[in-house]
Amino acid sequence: MNTKEKILLSSPHLSDEGYEMQFVDEAFATGWIVPLGKNVDEFEKELAAKVGAKHAVALSSGTAAIHMALKAAGVGAGDIVFCQSLTFSATANPIIYENAIPVFIDSDLETWNMSPLALEKAFKKYSPKAVIVVHLYGLSADMDRIVELCRKHNAVLIEDAAESLGAKYKDRHTGTIGDYGVFSFNGNKIITTSGGGMLVSDHEERINKVKFWATQARDPARHYQHSELGYNYRMSNVLAGIGRGQLKVLDQRVKKKKEIFEFYRQELGGLDGVTMMPVHDWQEPNYWLSCFTTNGPVKPLEIIEALEKENIEARPIWKPMHLQPLYAKYDFIGERVADRIFETGLCLPSDTKMTVEDMRRVVNIIKSLWRQG
């Protein structure tokens, strides 16, 4: 057994002030331990205000939010959906839930996210109903060019901002630039409700429609009548209370995540072959995870294993969807940049509860690997 204190990749971090419990207590005091209720309504309003979206609907997960965004976009059986390949599988799976057809789009090295060049090429070959772009690790995609291409080709733009709550692209919050934005409050995200998600949009009618679908699609009749397929996708009023409390410390969490990244950049950025994840002056990432690529003497897997021996959690970059057995049969448009980021990259522990000593433990292990070559 390893006696050294565990350093985690990214774990839930409750507010010092106990905000979460105050809202949860309120739900208990009123006995409103049900799906929906005041915490849900307020969490939707507070999150929408925070990111600058007009409307929001709280859901049971980020995955449910992507599913509902696709339905809201009118995606159905046989429709083509362009999807960033370099991402977590939950971005793509809802395309299959709807029996639609994913076409995977490459990333570029400038953003690690959807390559506008690959997207343009894809539009020459297909007419998709929707495009799902991801803001990976809290870095924003090149939205101006992606929005322009989607407008030109009449495709609905969905932003998977599951990892990027609090991140900005040119002064606008990620998730509010396309037609729909998706956030996740899973346990490892920058803020959490233990599990949950949110869909935001300026299309009020569509958000209301999602609220209808997500509460079992009950027609307005006294008896239980259904003319559409429903889902049980709403967030519980208890969990929304946790979310309201967490939202109050989002800015603090972003600040700490940035400090962690800056520390790693200073300490590791100069190592032979290391390139830190790309950050530009036109964006403010939330630095959900600190990542880098290396084509130097030490391979990512060796780093991950060396850290693991010292009870420190690190991870490979998401394996692109076009390399997944599940998705191998679908088309991929690009130059395999996503493959290279996957093969050479890794995610360092980025837990906001880390101390400077913890961060030093991490970089000392990595530096010693470089000294051994």
Where does this chain bind ligand PLP (CB under 6 A)? 61-63, 87-88, 90-91, 134, 160, 162-163, 184, 186, 197
- Looking at the Cβ atoms of 150 and 199, the one nearer to ligand PLP is 199
Q: How far apart are CA 238 and CA 194, in angstroms?
A: 11
| Residue 83: φ, ψ to 5° | -140, 130
Q: How far apart are CA 310 and CA 299, in angstroms?
A: 17
Q: Which residue has the tokens 């970059």?
A: 317
Q: Nearest residue by C-beta to ligand PLP?
A: 62
- Looking at the Cβ atoms of 61 and 237, the one nearer to ligand PLP is 61
Minimum distance of ligand PLP from residue 24's CB (angstroms):
19
Minimum distance of ligand PLP from residue 141's CB (angstroms):
12
Minimum distance of ligand PLP from residue 185's CB (angstroms):
7
Burial zone of 266 (CB within 10 Å; 0-12 exposed, 13-18 middle, 19+ buried): exposed
- Looking at the Cβ atoms of 89 and 266, the one nearer to ligand PLP is 89
Minimum distance of ligand PLP from residue 168's CB (angstroms):
18
Minimum distance of ligand PLP from residue 199's CB (angstroms):
11
Write down the H helix ranges in 129-287.
143-152, 204-214, 237-247, 250-268
Give the up-direction half-sphere exposure of residue 298: CA atoms within 13 A in the CB hemisphere.
Answer: 23
- Looking at the Cβ atoms of 88 and 263, the one nearer to ligand PLP is 88
- Looking at the Cβ atoms of 239 and 271, the one nearer to ligand PLP is 239
- Looking at the Cβ atoms of 79 and 160, the one nearer to ligand PLP is 160
Q: Which residues face 347 on adjacent strands?
A: 291, 315
Minimum distance of ligand PLP from residue 229's CB (angstroms):
20
Name the residue among 108, 116, 178, 117 with its Cα closest to residue 136.
108
Give me the torsion for CA of 338, 342, 344, 349, rounded to 10°. 130
Burial zone of 42 (CB within 10 Å; 0-12 exposed, 13-18 middle, 19+ buried): middle
